[in-house]
Amino acid sequence: MKSAEERVRAAYARIGEVDRPEVWISLRDEEEALAAAREVDERRASGADLPLAGTVFAVKDNIDVAGFPTTAGHPGYAYEPEKNATAVARLLDAGAVVLGKTNLDQFATGLVGTRSPYGAVRDAHRPDRVSGGSSSGSGVAVALGIVDFALGTDTAGSGRVPAAFGGIVGVKPTIGLVPNTGVVPACRTLDCVTVFAAGTGLARQVAGLMSGVDPADPRSRPWPVDAPLGAPPKPRVGVPDPADLVGMAPEWRAAFEAAVKRLADTGAETVQFHVKPFLEAGRLLYEGAFVAERYAAVGSFLVNPESAEGLDPTVATIISGAGSLPAHQLVADTERLDRLRAEARAQTAGLDAILLPTVGEHPTIAEVAEDPIGVNSRLGTYTNFCNLFDMAAIAIPAGETEDGAKFGVTLAAPAFSDHVVADIAERFLADRAVPVDTVALPPSAVPLVVVGAHLSGQPLNGQLTSLGARLLAPVRTAAEYRLYALDTEPAKPGLVRVAEGGAQIEAELWALPRAGLGGLLAELPAPMALGRVRLADGAEHVGFLCEPAAVAGARDITSFGGWRAFLAARE
């Protein structure tokens, strides 16, 4: 891994190469960034745990970073934050170096990336096209290879549309997992801090490091003890009925069909569903009373005559018009949303996730200028519903259309299925995944050591995956155990700790949702038990053990080094 200083120097060299000033609203002085990088290198050299050391990132300019003004895309709105947003503070603590604040659709209102007095952000690959918004600068900064990752926000799709156009990954966590403390609200009940990165590994690592309850954010949410930590080996994924995609151009439909086939090739089972309730709910975000949240956030600023200079006219029309919406319309729209949510759940019952196109076209900047609201509305067709339905999502690249446009798809699933959609995405993008040592898991996850029939590929492994467990790593026990072949059905070994004559035994370390541990124990037949298992590195975790009395007369298979080796020798 490069030192932080080397990475910062490379980033500023890349900024000079690409010459895209519209990406940034505030860019840190290079010497200041280098000084911060040297501090990171010194901390790492002293032994500090800095999982993001050697990475640089950018932050959308509606998220507070101490030392930079927060403008939310309007010069007159600018203020100097006294401290970092919670999400930013956690990343800095992990060793990342921030380079600057990125351009955005004003007040995070738009999916195009052109609604900014700081200039329209051009697409990273086709400069005559829009970059997507509202997290436009952040998406392009990653797509151009300037930064390793960037933060955006997502209310209607702003953390996913730029990912699709840039050919990168966009992680939209479950609402509330990442605190919004220090984030200028768009729709306070729907906003999410998001991550852009080149691959799934780094993106989900960053999302995990930002997650965790913040008492300063009353809407932040803890990770439930029963939420899955991974996707099943053969997930069931919903795909839209082809009749629901008739509005897409033929080349874009062909790209999506190719993505569905690619997903099936990973072992997923694809199941058709009707997307109508999802799309109807999405239209409520701007066409219904929910847009009043935007007025509640910044309406008083917009109606001030002194704010006129620098105000995007389309943004002004959308937000100011929401100020006169009656309360009874919000009640009616909320009831309608509840009905649509119930219908959508019925459509997707039994599915682990759904797969949709992220967008169905890639407009030019000129086309957006001609029809700013109509084009923007179309770009949100497959993204607007997500936060209204309280879903986790990840946008991933899926090749190109016949005319050379980047094509992307989104995997979405109910709240707290973040690891499920990320795992499926990682399988889809096997050649693009950025390797990381571990996935950042919630504190409630229970490490579990398995040595026999629950190992990957063995008969009882499904008991773990059905509980939402995920494999962390192959491991070995400390040299304190002996392994015996038990006379059971299915065949399984018994691991027993001994005072003398022990050996290291091949094992796997899994992470299990805490709520699943009790269920696993309740189903565990004698003579198996759960206890503390010591690993070769000295760590101790819950693991499968065997009652010592049960191995009397059983075959000692310790010399094979593990259950798999014993089974292979029998064949």
In degrees and rounded to multiples of 5, residue 406 shows phi and psi of -65, 135
Percentage of residues in the chain having pLDDT higher than 90: 95
pLDDT over 60 (residue 434): no
Note the pLDDT of residue 351.
Answer: 99
Task: Identify the architecture of domain 4-428 in CATH.
Answer: Alpha-Beta Complex (3.90)
Q: Domain coordinates of the chain in residue numbers? A: 4-428, 446-570
Count the neighbouring beta carbons within 10 Å of the beta carbon of residue 161. 35
Average pLDDT over the chain, rounded to an integer: 96
Note the pLDDT of residue 155.
Answer: 98
Name the pLDDT band for 439 (thresholds 50, 70, 90): confident
For residue 133 the two structure tokens come to 């918004």
What fold characterizes domain 446-570? Hypothetical upf0131 protein ytfp (3.10.490)
Name the pLDDT band for 486 (thresholds 50, 70, 90): very high
Note the pLDDT of residue 415.
Answer: 99
Note the pLDDT of residue 1.
Answer: 72
Percentage of residues in the chain having pLDDT higher than 70: 99
Q: Of the ranges 251-255, 407-411, 507-511, 520-524, which one carries the lowest mean pLDDT score?
A: 520-524
Note the pLDDT of residue 433.
Answer: 52
Pairing of the two strands 269-273 and 236-240? parallel
User: What is the C-alpha separation between 287 and 273, in angstroms, rounded?
Assistant: 25
Long-range Cβ contact pairs of 239-243 (< 8 A, separation 24 or more): 239/263, 239/270, 239/271, 239/272, 239/273, 239/354, 239/355, 240/272, 240/273, 240/274, 240/275, 240/356, 241/272, 241/273, 241/274, 241/275, 242/272
pLDDT over 90 (residue 495): yes
Name the pLDDT band for 440 (thresholds 50, 70, 90): confident
Note the pLDDT of residue 441.
Answer: 85
Name the pLDDT band for 435 (thresholds 50, 70, 90): low
Q: How long a stretch of residues is the chain? A: 571
Report pLDDT digits (tens) over 24-35: 999 999 999 999
Report pLDDT digits (tens) over 248-282: 999 999 999 999 999 999 999 999 999 999 999 99
Name the pLDDT band for 450 (thresholds 50, 70, 90): very high
- The CA-CA-CA angle for residues 480, 485, 487, to 5°, reads 140
Note the pLDDT of residue 247.
Answer: 82
Report pLDDT digits (tens) over 285-294: 999 999 999 9
Give the Å distances, CA to CA, from 430 to 360, 398, 425: 24, 12, 8
Residues with a catalytic annotation lie at: 60, 134, 158
Q: What is the mean pLDDT of residues 421-432?
A: 90
* Fold match between domain 4-428 and domain 446-570: no
Note the pLDDT of residue 287.
Answer: 93
Question: Which stretches within 159-291 are classed as H helix?
Answer: 161-166, 200-210, 250-265, 276-287
Report pLDDT digits (tens) over 51-92: 999 999 999 999 999 999 999 999 999 999 999 999 999 999
Name the residue with tokens 């609203």: 25
Name the pLDDT band for 432 (thresholds 50, 70, 90): low
pLDDT over 80 (residue 395): yes
Name the pLDDT band for 2 (thresholds 50, 70, 90): confident
pLDDT over 60 (residue 406): yes
Q: What is the mean pLDDT of residues 6-35?
A: 99
Q: What is the mean pLDDT of residues 180-192?
A: 98
User: What is the C-alpha separation between 122 and 113, in angstroms, rounded?
Assistant: 8
Q: How far apart are the first and last CA of the chain?
A: 43
pLDDT over 60 (residue 389): yes
